[in-house]
Amino acid sequence: MKGPAPMPAFAKPGQDILWKAGIRLMIGWEGTGAREPLALIEELAPAGLVFFRRNYPPGGGPELADQMGELQRRSISLWGRPLLLAMDDEGGTVKRLPPPHAQLPGAPEQAGLGPGPIRAMARSAGAELRSLGFNLNLAPVLDLSVPGGIMSKRSYGEDPQTVIAMARAFIGGFGEAGLFTCAKHFPGLGAARVDPHDTLPTVPLNASALAPHLSPFRALIGEGLPMVMTSHCSYPGLGLATISTFSAALIDILRDDLGFGGLALSDDLEMGAVAKNVSLGEAASSAILAGHDLALVCRERALIDEAHRALSADAIDGHLKSPRYAAGLARLEAFLGGLPAP
């Protein structure tokens, strides 16, 4: 990596706060054109954007590639830093590009093929995403498949070693194509019985029973995993009886116990597990102050603005001086400063 992205010399008062608040956000948008994401870049200075199927333009791949290039150039011009341009391309039920773009099979089907074919498929799919301007795939899932759990259709299996081997191949293939990957959902969502998109789940396992769920994260972090996404869940067995996303103890497990030095991302804060319990502003602030580097807000502009206001208030109130907050800011500046320009 090249080193930290230099902060621009701002001409207008308060723009340094906007820059520092925006760098903690990865955000989505509603429509298909470049107008909305360009406005997000210009007004909020985000670290990254998340692409969904709803954003696929009528002009297909060529139009999408043009848009992604325009967004990168605008961020660099205004804020002196490239963007993380991300999508979830797990395969199976979670894929964002329609045919004729590459359609990866789901994780259970991938596991049936084995590591070699997974790596080759990931490399090919990654090359296509890279050609469209993306640099981050918010995958793979490291959650174990548990009977009755919600992740079975998105998991490589019940055995931690199988999950490790298949995810390693997936990460390797996308890495060879020039994309970063983000493993999810730490510390493991496989035993959850309700979907956090709808409501807050509880994983009713003690620390010993959760150890196998942590092992894929532990192994791949040891191999240089660049990003981890946490889960919106309650883990009473780890002392996390409320929403884990807001717990500094969760991030301490990730960083201190597992030795993770990369970027920690929240899951989408618009999900029901969060939205039914706290305001979006409180959620964004709590996630960052707990030690996440990036907070995801993936759709509604009003909620994105609420998150940005809360993070701006945190910066003004001096949270930037706290070691946990400052460390996250430094990691992000260094990571974004090392991204290749378009």
CA-CA distance, 179 to 86, in Å (whole number)? 9
- Is 243:274 a contact under the CB 8 Å cutoff? yes
CA-CA distance, 80 to 70, in Å (whole number)? 14
Strand partners, 307: none
CA-CA distance, 337 to 340, in Å (whole number)? 8
Residues in the chain: 342
Residue type, 166: M
Contacts of the segment 246-250: beta carbons below 8 A, 24+ positions apart: 246/278, 246/283, 246/286, 246/287, 246/290, 247/290, 248/289, 248/290, 248/291, 248/324, 250/186, 250/187, 250/290
- Is 250:240 a contact under the CB 8 Å cutoff? yes
HEC assignment per residue over 257-321: HCCCCCEEEEEECCCHHHHCCCCHHHHHHHHHHHCCCEEEECCCHHHHHHHHHHHHHHHHCCHHH
Catalytic residues: 197, 267
